[in-house]
Amino acid sequence: MANRYPSPQEAGIRIPTHVMEDRFCAGFRHGLEGGHLDKVEYMRLSFREGYRASKLYLREVRRSRGILEFPARWRVRMKAA
């Protein structure tokens, strides 16, 4: 079953006039899907602003549902001598 993510307009987020709408929406969707900013094309201003808006939106949704913070993920490396 495929997930259905809201668009910025459906989430109540106003797209700034100084950014490209298609890149903003792509960044918003990428952020909702849990993606990382690990490619050069993700560093463009419009994409980053959409990504940031999605992270703020997710934080607000989680707070409204009573989830304050996820536990930190720790990575431990050990070597046997």
Going from the first residue of the chain to its last (81 residues), give the mean pLDDT of each consecutive group of 10, the final group possibly shorter: 88 93 95 92 94 94 84 80 74
Parent domain of 42: 21-64
Q: Which residues contact residue 13 at a Cβ distance below 8 angstroms, ignoring those fewer than 6 apart?
A: 28, 53, 57
> What is the 3-state secondary structure of 56-69?
HHHHHHHHHCCCCC
Structural domains counted in the chain: 1
For residues 43 and 24, what is the distance between their CA atoms, to the nearest angstrom?
A: 12
Q: Is 30 within the bounds of a domain?
A: yes
Q: Is 49 within the bounds of a domain?
A: yes
Q: Is 75 within the bounds of a domain?
A: no
Q: Is 74 within the bounds of a domain?
A: no
Mean pLDDT of the chain: 90
Task: Say how many C-beta atoms besides its own lie within 10 A of residue 57's C-beta.
Answer: 18
Q: Is 5 within the bounds of a domain?
A: no
Q: Is 29 within the bounds of a domain?
A: yes
Tokens read off for 69: 């913070």
